[in-house]
């Protein structure tokens, strides 16, 4: 889809030369697209780019994949094969051309209902970062959504939550929650119809299926006049918050277009799952959001696991525009309700009488610094040279190093007023 516009910056200069680069891949090895904003591109280069794009399309369209799936499920178990190299369901006529590849045989209906466990996760941190919810977190999220009364979930980059909803809906007649998955991983089109999955890039709000896919999303949001629908998103943690926020606001605007009166002053309910250290960036774009203490953990991530202590515990949290007192966290996992803050907090998050808030972000008990006039991490202490709390072993460079963009002291690059 469309590229993003970036700027090369250097210290002391307000803004450097601007260029376009791939919105999804931050590593030039994965996508080598680069173009200066003021560059005139020759016809030859444009043609070469079109040719490259044509050659890198998936082997089948979404509609073809849906038809192939229908044929696949009619096969006897002994003839159901999945090519691990091509990450593709195979029909018997295609076995020969994949004969030197590794197969998974006897693919069951249960496996077809859980594609996130059949497909290899794309774990390149700079492109896909496909870390999948652990069953504990997925089950918690689904139960929370049901208890809050939501009946439709726009699952943006949350394939495991989507498949759990799909699986429950196919097994339980009384289960009334539905999900639409928006994801950049086109492999999921092998398992879901065009009403269940849209190929989507959350960094530039691009629907690869064009207006038809956009209309599918719009219809999903419009049902019941836009009521009882929530967006749940779990973006790659290395992604630009600005780009993500822009796309999420466009999805929210799509929801606002519903005819229901009263939407003008409301935001579409949302869960944004992201590490706690991005809190200030998210609140810059969504001031109505607040961060919950619940630790989200992942099956295939070495560090982001629940139950670990100190710096080893998962830093991933839920940011939401719902009232914090509505988000009930499991007491059996040590979460408790703070009557002053009117929200559930982790057991180590003690209420600070001076700040009048439960201030810990990482699950440990934080301490109040009188000089900084705020609570800080327990491992930090006040440095008179830097005039703030920081790690004990640090170099006092703050006094002579300014912002990387404008060179002035007192703020970091991310908060520089020179950046548009």
pLDDT digits (tens, 9 = 90+) for 187-237: 999 999 999 999 999 999 999 999 999 999 999 999 888 889 999 999 988
Query: Pairing state of beta strands 178-183 and 152-156?
Result: parallel
Banded model confidence at residue 75, pLDDT cuts 50, 70, 90 = very high
Residues 274 and 264: their CA atoms lie apart, in Å, by: 27
DSSP-assigned letters across all residues of 93-110 = GGTGGGTTS-EEES--HH
Banded model confidence at residue 293, pLDDT cuts 50, 70, 90 = very high
Place of tokens 């496909």: 130
pLDDT at 164 over 60: yes
pLDDT for res 1: 87
Residues 247 and 23: their CA atoms lie apart, in Å, by: 12
Span of 128-142, 197-211, 331-345, 390-404 with lowest mean pLDDT:
390-404
- Side-chain half-sphere exposure of 261, counting CA atoms within 13 A: 0
Residues 5 and 204: their CA atoms lie apart, in Å, by: 11
Average pLDDT, the chain: 87
Domains and CATH numbers, the chain: 4-56 (no CATH), 62-107 (3.30.160), 135-347 (3.40.50)
pTM of this prediction? 0.87
pLDDT for res 399: 47
Banded model confidence at residue 281, pLDDT cuts 50, 70, 90 = very high
Residues 180 and 214: their CA atoms lie apart, in Å, by: 12
pLDDT at 126 over 80: no
């Amino acid at each position: 889809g469309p590229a993003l516009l970036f700027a090369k910056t250097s210290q002391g200069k307000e803004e450097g030369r601007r260029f376009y680069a791939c919105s999804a891949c931050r590593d030039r090895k994965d996508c080598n697209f680069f173009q200066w904003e003021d560059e005139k591109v020759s016809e030859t280069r444009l043609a070469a780019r079109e040719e490259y794009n044509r050659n890198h399309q998936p082997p089948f369209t979404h509609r073809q994949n849906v038809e192939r799936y229908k044929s696949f499920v009619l096969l006897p178990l002994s003839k159901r094969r999945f090519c691990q190299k091509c990450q593709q369901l195979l029909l018997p006529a295609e076995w020969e051309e994949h004969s030197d590849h590794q197969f998974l045989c006897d693919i069951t209906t249960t496996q077809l209902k859980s594609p996130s466990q059949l497909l290899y996760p794309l774990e390149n941190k700079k492109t896909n970062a496909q870390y999948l919810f652990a069953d504990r977190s997925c089950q918690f999220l689904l139960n929370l959504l049901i208890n809050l009364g939501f009946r439709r979930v726009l699952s943006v980059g949350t394939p495991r939550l989507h498949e759990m909803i799909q699986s429950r809906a196919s097994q339980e007649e009384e289960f009334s929650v539905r999900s639409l998955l928006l994801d950049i991983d086109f492999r999921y089109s092998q398992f879901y119809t065009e009403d269940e999955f849209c190929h989507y890039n959350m960094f530039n709000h691009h629907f690869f299926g064009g207006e038809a896919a956009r209309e599918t999303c719009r219809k999903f949001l419009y049902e019941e006049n836009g009521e009882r629908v929530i967006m749940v998103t779990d973006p790659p943690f290395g992604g630009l918050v600005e780009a993500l926020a822009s796309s999420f606001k466009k999805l929210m605007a799509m929801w606002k277009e519903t005819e229901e009166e009263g939407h003008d002053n409301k935001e579409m309910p949302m869960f944004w799952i992201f590490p706690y250290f991005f809190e200030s960036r998210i609140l810059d774009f969504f001031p109505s959001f607040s961060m919950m203490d619940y630790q989200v953990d992942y099956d295939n991530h070495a560090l982001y696991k629940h139950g670990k202590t100190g710096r080893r515990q998962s830093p991933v949290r839920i940011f939401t525009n719902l009232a914090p007192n509505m988000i009930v966290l499991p007491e059996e996992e040590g979460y408790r309700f703070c009557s002053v803050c009117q929200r559930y907090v982790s057991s180590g998050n003690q209420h600070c009488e001076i700040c009048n808030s439960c201030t810990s972000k990482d699950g440990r008990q934080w301490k109040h610094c009188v000089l900084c006039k705020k609570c800080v991490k327990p491992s930090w202490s006040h440095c008179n040279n830097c005039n703030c709390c920081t790690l004990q072993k640090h170099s006092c460079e703050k006094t002579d190093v300014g912002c990387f963009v404008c060179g002035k002291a007192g703020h970091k690059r991310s908060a520089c007023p020179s950046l548009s």
